[in-house]
Amino acid sequence: MFNSKLRPKTELEKALDRAYSKLDSCEIDSKEYRDCLDHIVKLHKMKEEEKPDSVSKDIFVLIAKNLLGFFMIIHHERVDIITSKALPFVTKPR
């Protein structure tokens, strides 16, 4: 999504880079290699937890409901010559 060259690396990404470089210098059968892999797995879990939560479907339903109600009122005002304000009928954000 974003070019990684434009944004600075976080401390977590720097730690992952260090762990990968250390992994390259270790023997595959050594205990140090397994420990390094464990650290990498933990760092990736931390990176996943750092990501923002996605927007729930309930929010999208609420937005669609508000827009539909707003457009229905505007359409009614255009067809019938009744003037009112549609904005008070829209659910306010909390």
Helix axis angle for 11-25 and 31-50, nearest 10°, is 160
- Do residues 77 and 84 lie in contact, with contact meaning Cβ atoms separated by under 8 Å? yes
Query: Tokens in use for 21?
Result: 């470089």
Per the CB < 8 A criterion, the answer to whether 90 and 70 are in contact is yes
In a domain, 6, yes or no: no
> How many distinct structural domains can be found in the chain?
2
Q: How far apart are CA 28 and CA 55, in angstroms?
A: 42
The pLDDT of residue 68 is 92
Q: Residue 89 has what pLDDT?
A: 65
By residue range, what is the domain housing residue 75?
57-89
Specify if 40 maps to a domain. Answer: yes
**Are 44 and 20 in the same domain?**
yes
Q: Considering the domain boundaries, does residue 2 fall inside one? A: no
Q: 33: which 2 tokens?
A: 């290699």
pLDDT for residue 94: 63
**Within-domain flag for 3:** no
Helix (H) or strand (E) holding 2: none
Mean pLDDT by 10 residues, the chain (94 residues): 66 88 86 90 87 80 90 80 60 66
The verdict on residue 4 lying in a domain is no
Q: Alpha-carbon distance 87 to 46, whole Å?
A: 43
Written as six digits, the tokens of 91 are: 């659910």
